[in-house]
Structure 1
């Protein structure tokens, strides 16, 4: 599927934009004729399995290791891993995406400043439920060769995940223990 190829090889992260670009390349003008986000994600997994079998697992492991380090660093903010690094579709173009929880977003910025970490601030629009979206503070910085992307949510959102862009269900999120388990090989019994 062309949209999955654009994501895997071109570094596009926005499923809608990838679908529109693929549709234009293939002469499909009707948005209703384009695949669903779930179909694109499934095709992305298949593309990675077929064409990136050597490199993608290495990138994924490196990013999951960076995620555990970042989650330890931000432990006071109840970090949760989200996105391609958690889902297993991360590649060389992916960032480690974390949700941090703080009633005062400035506390996260202070932590970064205290450690001399250069960061860029912005806003990220999240769908909190089917009828409500909200702009949340977001921060991006590099930890070695791993880009880290933070979204800062109020502490009250810790147990209420925003909606996932793929299927409009609560976003899958993982605490540090789950991410560490993804890195540890299963033990024989």
Structure 2
């Protein structure tokens, strides 16, 4: 039975990884549930962990999107560096799939900013002629999410209170979410490594 369960989990991971990489799904739980339905498995089937899905996504991208993936990650990290340089006074951190190297075809750049208020960031963007829109924060700790779009990238500026910089936010599986300051992202770019 455990061997069959492992194969089932691997099948779910593979199908969910394809949904994330090809179709642009960003919610891991949604991708796993859709994969479950596509495979015709019963609703109560144990789902793989987010860590297992991360591993499957990396494998899928390495096999089916290797060169495209490397170029996408390089491009998005370069865009992130440009934005982080502009937003230095708000102590930006890069997080998410662009940082960890799993960014799919429709991935967006996620930057954490720290300010006394979201209005401070909005005024900063307005003064520099940088258009933005509002999005709904994904968690209750974030004060606001401002979306900055260019022709070839979308960045989510997730604004937290200044004191929250010391608190590492949690990832999908409850572990502290990886994040990187400008220098670390520049080092990743210089190294040319997707992860």
Normalized against structure 2, the TM-score is what? 0.87
* Dislocated runs of 4+, deviation >4 Å: none
Partner residue in 2 for 1:113? 126
Q: Which has the higher helix share?
A: 2
Given that 2:92 and 2:114 are in contact with CA atoms closer than 8 Å, whether structure 1 keeps it comes out as: yes
Alignment of 1:130-141 (within 5 A): 133-141=140-148
Partner residue in 2 for 1:85? 98
Given that 2:145 and 2:159 are in contact with CA atoms closer than 8 Å, whether structure 1 keeps it comes out as: yes
Q: Which has the higher strand share?
A: 1
SS at match of 2:166: coil
Alignment of 1:145-160 (within 5 A): 145-160=152-167
Alignment partner of 1:13 is 2:19: no
Alignment partner of 1:175 is 2:195: no
Unaligned runs of 5+ in 1: 127-132
SS at match of 1:164: coil
Q: Deviations for 1:135-158, whole angstroms, at most 9, x for unmatched residues? A: 531011213411111100011111
TM superposition shift of 1:170: 1.2
RMSD: 1.5
Normalized against structure 1, the TM-score is what? 0.90
Q: Which moved more, 1:73-82 or 1:84-93?
A: 84-93
